[in-house]
Amino acid sequence: MAAAAAGLLSSRARAALLPTPPQTEGPFYPPKLPLDSDNDLVQVKGEPHAALGTVTHVVGRLLDLNGHPVTGARIEIWQCDANGRYLHPRDSSGRPRDEGFQGYGQTLTADDGAYRFRTIKPVPYPGRTPHIHFAISGRGFDKLVTQMYVAGDPRNATDMIYTAIDAAARDRVTVPLIAAPEIEANALKGTFDIVLAAAV
């Protein structure tokens, strides 16, 4: 009886999954990927200093609409550094670039759909609230490009890209960042589960 109830609960939970809303890729996806493009953006190979900013571990799972894990998918992230500058030649803001920040990273999802990045807490720059860009690609589904936002940041309310999302869908791209001393001293952690718009 307990097993049947658990199975029913699992089915109901899966049925409640809603897709992660797509977002613009923006102009700053790197035209040339850095030589170091792993899932640790805080330490660049060959650079003596780690990235400026607050170390933040972004973790989650990639799921389909039925709640099944999507394995072997490629997840890419890119974001500006602690000075608000992207790893892109068209970023002509004049802000100094933090050479210790990778700016871009990628990884593959595990058998349970899990992924992990070590990066920095996203920061604002003129016209945008703090965010991290995501691109998800793989066999059997259309590429998804979206953005992750920081829960509680007051600039979310005036960001035109964030507020363009349907109000009911904003929670699906808005992530609390909490202290995570169990992972790393003085680090934060955010859990961003991504749901594709179809079964895979």
Per-domain boundaries in the chain? 2-195
- Residue 157 token pair: 């309310």
**What pLDDT shows up at residue 162?**
98
Is residue 117 a contact partner of residue 142, using CB atoms and an 8 Å limit? no
Q: Find, among 123, 128, 130, the residue nearest to 52 by Cα.
A: 123
Q: What is the mean pLDDT of each run of 10 residues along the chain (200 residues)?
A: 42 67 94 89 92 98 96 98 93 89 97 98 96 97 97 98 95 98 97 94
Angle at 66 between CA 64 and CA 68, to 5 degrees: 60
**What pLDDT shows up at residue 198?**
87
Residues 6+ apart with CB under 8 A from 147: 23, 24, 131, 132, 133, 134, 161, 162, 173
Q: What's 2-195's CATH class?
A: mainly beta
**What pLDDT shows up at residue 166?**
94
Cα atoms in the Cβ-side hemisphere of radius 13 Å centred on 190: 25
**What pLDDT shows up at residue 16?**
62
